[in-house]
Structure 1
Amino acid sequence: MAAVQINDIRPGAPMRWLKAGAGDMARAPMVSIGYGLIFVAIGAALSLGLWFVGAAAWIPVALSSFALIAPLFAVGIYQISKHIDEGKAVTFSDVWLVSGEKISQVAFLGLLLIILLLGWARIAQFLYAYFASQDYTTLSEFTSWLLGNPAGLAMAVIGTVIGGMLALAAFAISAISFPMLIDKQIDAATALIASVTAVRRNLFPMLTWAWLIAFWTVIGTAFFGVGLAIVFPWLGHASWRAYQDFCTDCGPSSAG
């Protein structure tokens, strides 16, 4: 396992990544937005399932958990950007074509994110059991208790702090690792270390980038989730451009 060379970036780089990501999406709008719609549908199905079983109060936790592993789901978006860079026509089937040796490395990093997701779900369950005096099955009841009761506010604050720490860990692990695995002949451990190193050495711009990702994700979710069909691929393409800024000499490129 050899270390890779990570470039330092300028503080204003995240805005440039967003602009470049929008350019990628404009070059393959049908494929990019179609890919985003698939995951909007998955999130909607998850929310509806919780609603129908009388657990609507868990929808916010489920959606935030879903966001933790979004970088794994964005692998197809990285494939689109890679094809654009190579000057290839992009078709919907291209987003699923990950070679066998890469799948195992992607799956390893994906497993780490899933462990964080399960940890967050377990912590949320514990906090709810500790602070709530009764079951709040509807989203309106839960929201009223969360914002209008001291115990609910305490749970919200503690949950936000813990969730933020887990989200930061997931961000550090995945900031450039998944695009790197798609682009280079490299192992998961090397990609993970490179990603954490990139975040650690460029903390201010990367925290800005994390904030922008969170902000636009909230905006997309606010529009009943439909906005995520645009926001999700846009941020995925932008993450590919972020990776390219960091990694100009990270080992041999894959054949695609």
Structure 2
Amino acid sequence: MVTLQTVRRDAPWSWLKAGWRDLVRAPMVSIGYGLIFVVTGLAITAGLWSLGMTSWIPVATAGFALVAPAFAIGFYQVSRKLDAGETPRFSHVWLLRPGKITQVALLGVFLIILLLFWVLIAQALYAYFAFGNFRPIGEFSSFALATPRGLTLLAVGTIAGGILAAFAFSISALAFPMLVDQEVDAVTALVASVMAVRAQPFVMLTWAWLIAFWTILGTVAFLLGLAVIFPWLGHASWRAYQDFSPVPSPSRASAAAS
């Protein structure tokens, strides 16, 4: 069992402000870490483009959104160092105790499973609705935006992706920061995250909407905007975790520490 603090209904806006302050206090480390994922995304995009499979770029971008919470642990580490009055260094983003790495990896596997499930759904929908091979983005856009089957594909795909994204958000919103900060197991951290969503759905729905909005905005800017937005949202997620202040029951905490 986990106990949570009640947060204000407008708390997500405070998390964004606090996250921005963390980003400004450690811009080199935060943006440098964020650039790793931007460069990786650009490399994947370039690879799909060279193979003539540009229609899969939106699928890959949506897939990154599913697993991004696992990669944001570096930003949680930076915010944690700032809270301790220390100067964050790039090496800090990788510093996790072996026991914590195991639990982070376990929770990360859940997100990877969701990612693979999303890819399978995208392939199935494409095979069902698309008669032709619309791999270039121009052909796919004409099909998706100008034909009934294409519009149906977009609608069904958006709904399916939204459901998976909501599930990924529910199990990870507080889980990864909690694993970084406390001696708990992945299941306890996952439960804390789900409890926060169930206890204050309006707050967490607002937070999920803000994350989606800024992520889409950064992606539209040829992924380069994510070099700033991803660190910003990562630091803000740490502040969200702190606001909820999840505390596991003594039995679970002692079991995780043993």
TM-score greater than 0.5 by the shorter chain: yes
2:196 partner SS: helix
Unaligned 5+ runs, structure 1: none
Match of 1:73 in 2: 71
2:60 paired residue among 50, 59, 62: 62
Q: Which residue of 2 aligns with 1:28?
A: 26
Partner of 1:137: 135
Instruction: Within 5 Å, give how 1:197-236 maps onto structure 2.
Output: 197-236=195-234
Partner in structure 2 of residue 113 of structure 1: 111
* TM-score of the pair, normalised by structure 1: 0.96
Question: Aligned equivalents of 2:246 and 2:171: distance in 1?
Answer: 19
Q: SS at 2:2's partner residue?
A: coil
Which of 148, 151, 163 is equivalent to 1:150?
Answer: 148
Dislocated runs of 4+, deviation >3 Å: 248-252
Report how far residue 9 of structure 1 moved.
1.4
Once residues 101 and 67 of structure 1 are traced to their aligned partners in structure 2, the CA distance between those partners, rounded to angstroms, is: 26
Question: What is the TM-score of this pair, normalised by structure 2?
Answer: 0.95
Amino acid at match of 1:177: A
Q: 1:191 aligns with which of 189, 192, 195?
A: 189
Alpha-carbon distance, 1:249 to partner: 3.8
Conserved? CA contact 2:2–2:246, under 8 Å:
no
Cα distance in 2, alignment partners of residues 200 and 143 from structure 1: 38
> 2 CA distance for matches of 1:153 and 1:248?
42
Q: Distance in 1 between matches of 2:138 and 2:72?
A: 32
Pairing partner for 2:92 from 91, 94, 98:
94
Give the superposition deviation at 1:4. Answer: 2.1
One-letter identity of the residue aligned with 2:64: F
Identity %: 58
- Residues 34 and 231, structure 2, Cα contact 8 Å, conserved in 1: yes
Give the distance between the partners of 2:142 and 2:84, measured in 1 at CA: 52
Deviation readout 1:84-135 (Å, 9 max, x if unpaired): 1111111111111111000000001100000000001000000000000100
Q: Which runs of 5+ in 2 are unaligned?
A: 254-258
TM superposition shift of 1:8:
1.6
Match of 2:256 in 1: none
Is the partner of 1:69 in helix, strand or coil? helix
Q: Indicate the residue corresponding to 1:38 in structure 2.
A: 36
CA RMSD, Structure 1 to Structure 2 (Å): 1.2
1 CA distance for matches of 2:82 and 2:88?
Answer: 7
Aligned length: 251
- Which of 169, 172, 176 is the equivalent residue of 2:170? 172
SS in 1 for 2:183: coil
